Amino acid sequence: MPKCPKCNKISTDEEVCKDCETEVEEFDSSTLAKPEKTQTYVKKEEQYKDLKSSAFSFIVISIIGILLLSINAMGIISIFNGTLTYIVMGGMFLVFLYIGINSFIKANKVKGQISGENQETDAINSWLSENITKESLNELVNPNDGEEVQFMQKIERMKELILNQFGELDDLYLDHIVEEYYNNHFEE
């Protein structure tokens, strides 16, 4: 498909771009990079709450299911019939119990990381408030660039400064910290 090399507009069967009058070139759209899946950072506190909630749900459902199967096997109620049903339902409820216990174990691991993450976040935010001002960020960008470009330049510069001060950090965590700090302190 034809594309203008100057203004990057795709042209329809023309040899010269209508907008900038530059000769168009053939463009292979299969060489474009596919968009990456985006992820967002989830705080350890939120991970803990989610894991704990999932664990509780799976364990409660599995216990209720196992009790129902037991009561049904004793003949008090008659919901399930047949050996295969008992095997399948019993297996499913045991898998739910396993998932619930695993989720509790993961939740406890994450719970142990919460205070460390909070301390690190507080230290980074404290350092940012002591060392980064709106004026110092404005000095680092080209005033002729658009607002969005300036925003991205400021965010990238803040990340570089944090990495220089605190060493290697998780990219998603760093994005979260910087954008949250910027939005809370520098957004008009």
Residue 11: give the domain boundaries: 1-29
Please, are residues 106 and 51 in contact by the beta-carbon 8 Å criterion? Answer: yes
* pTM assigned to the model: 0.66
Angle between helices 83-131 and 171-185 (to 10 degrees): 50
Residue 84 burial (CB count, 10 A): 9
Residue 25 lies inside a defined structural domain of this protein: yes
- Give Cβ neighbours of residue 63 (< 8 Å, ≥ 6 apart): 97
Residue 8 lies in a domain: yes
* pLDDT tens by residue, the chain, 188 residues: 566 666 666 655 567 777 677 776 765 555 545 555 568 889 999 999 999 999 999 999 999 999 999 998 888 888 878 888 889 999 999 999 999 999 999 999 999 999 999 999 999 999 999 988 888 888 878 888 888 888 888 889 899 999 999 889 889 999 999 999 988 888 76
Provide the domain count of the chain. Answer: 1
Q: How far apart are CA 71 and CA 17, in angstroms?
A: 78
Secondary structure (H, E, C), 87-108: HHHHHHHHHHHHHHHHHHHHHH
In-domain check, residue 1:
yes
Asked if the structure places residue 4 within a domain, the reply is yes
* DSSP-based three-state secondary structure for 127: helix
Q: Is position 153 within any domain?
A: no
Confirm whether 50 is domain-assigned. Answer: no
Domain-embedded: residue 21: yes
